[in-house]
Every structure is written in C-alpha cells, then in structure tokens.
Chains A and B, each alone.
Chain A
Amino acid sequence: QSALTQPPSASGSPGQSVTISCTGTNSDIGTFTHVSWYQQRPGKAPRLLIYEVNKRLSGVPDRFSGSKSGNTASLTVSGLQFEDEADYYCASYAGRNELGLLFGGGTTLTVL
C-alpha cells in the first residue's frame, strides 16, 4: 500500500492562508473519516493538530482547520505566523486492518 501523497513543500507570507493537500484512494480517505494531521518542528516529536478529518485538538489555534473532498483531505492554515513553519503530515486508516495506518510523505511549510 503506497503512502498518501502530499506536496513536498508549501509557502506563504505572514497573515496569508495556505492549504496542504493529502491524496489517497477511494479505499482509504475516500471511504473513512480516520484522517489526522500532525505538525513536526525541527528536532521535535510530531504533535496532533486535527483528527477525524476536521476536529481540532484542544489547545490548537483555530487558524488550523481540516476538511475532506472525495479522496483528498486538506489542512488549511489561516493567518500564517512564523511559528507555523514546520513539517506537516497527514495520516489515514488504510481501509483494511491488515494494512493498518498510512502516513503522507510530509509537507515542509515555509513562512516567507
């Protein structure tokens, strides 16, 4: 089972909005709501931002939002701040228990 597909990089200026996509198939993202998003700053462990497609973890700024359309999930960061510069990963149930969980390849967000 291939990893989910994310763009390797994204960028924006402070105050702008950026959307990061995560493309799967109709066997995983297209069917199930087990989509989550993680932020990883350099040298740090990943941190959960969004779970079940669009639920924001308590304490996560409401500038972060998640959505899904068809086989593609998206993470939108509004009102970009320099502290948002990090790697972002999506994850989804693979659709069959024997395949488990899939991660995207990660997107490096640069705030210009």
Chain B
Amino acid sequence: EVQVVQSGPEVKKPGESLKISCRGSGYNFTNYWIGWVRQKPGKGLEWMGVIYPGDSDTRYSPSFQGQVTISADKSINTAYLQWSSLKASDSAMYYCARHGGPYKWFDPWGQGCLVTVSA
C-alpha cells in the first residue's frame, strides 16, 4: 500500500526551531516528488513547495520562499519541513503528499501534523 506518514503534533514557543517529517512507503520514494501544504484553522489549502528526493531539486511557493526549508533523506524515505524561528502565525495543520509531478496531483496525503506556536 502506498502511503505517507507524518510526525506527531508539535507545540512550540515563538522563536523556536522545528523540523517535521513525512515518510513514504510502498513505492519508490526517489522517483516521486513530495509536496507540503498548509491549512490554517477554518481556512483553505496553500501550496508551500515540493522536493524531488532523487536529486533534492526543491521548488517553493513565492509566499513561503525564505520562510521554510524543505529537504529529504532518500536513505530513509523521509522528507522534512523546517523552520528556524517560528512565529505565532505559523500555527496550522501541515500536510505532506506524494506529488505526481512538480505541479501536478497529490496522492496519497499524510494524516497531517498540527503545529501550535504559542507563548
């Protein structure tokens, strides 16, 4: 079964760093892009960026460029999303999903990782 499984919920303080993960299984991890999507409470989906684990080619949405870093470790079939200094406005659900291409469909989706940033 093809699936992506994300790390658990996080509670952090403003200014702290964070790295959340997304592990793919049931398919050749290096041959598919992995994308990240943000969803704030009660709001819609926002595309953040994607990475191709095979060569670490990474693309970012202009809205998230410089705000987050996407990376991957193909030796353990895992992609990451990280922040160096969190803000309260980063509080949201973050989804990863296998991408059919850098700007194509997402399937399957991870279960989501809830990040809460509060003093």
Contacts and interface: CB of A to CB of B under 8 A. Distances in A.
Contacts of B106: 36, 38, 46, 48, 91
Interface string A31-55: 0001010100000011110011000
B103 A101 contact: yes
A89 interface: yes
B58 to A, nearest CB: 11
A98 B47 contact: no
Contact of A103 (B46, B62, B107): B46
Nearest to A97: B59
Interface in A82-105: 89, 91, 93-94, 97-105
B61 A100 contact: yes
A45 B112 CA distance: 7
Contacts of A51: 100, 104-105, 107
Given A34-B104, A46-B95, A93-B104, A103 B44 contact: yes
Contacts of B95: 45-46
Contacts of A3: 44
Interface in A44-80: 45-48, 51-52, 57
Contact of B109 (A47, A94, A98): A47
B104 A98 contact: no
Nearest to B59: A100
Most chain-A CB neighbours within 10 Å: which of B37, B45, B106, B109?
A: B45
B105 A48 contact: yes
Given A103-B45, A106-B44, A45 B111 contact: yes
B24 interface: no
Interface of B: 35, 37, 44-47, 49-50, 59-62, 95, 97, 100-112
Closest 9 A/B residue pairs (Cβ): A51-B105, A48-B107, A93-B103, A101-B47, A36-B105, A45-B109, A106-B44, A103-B45, A101-B103
14 contacts: A1-B62, A34-B104, A34-B105, A46-B45, A47-B109, A91-B47, A93-B104, A94-B103, A99-B62, A100-B47, A100-B59, A102-B47, A103-B44, A106-B44
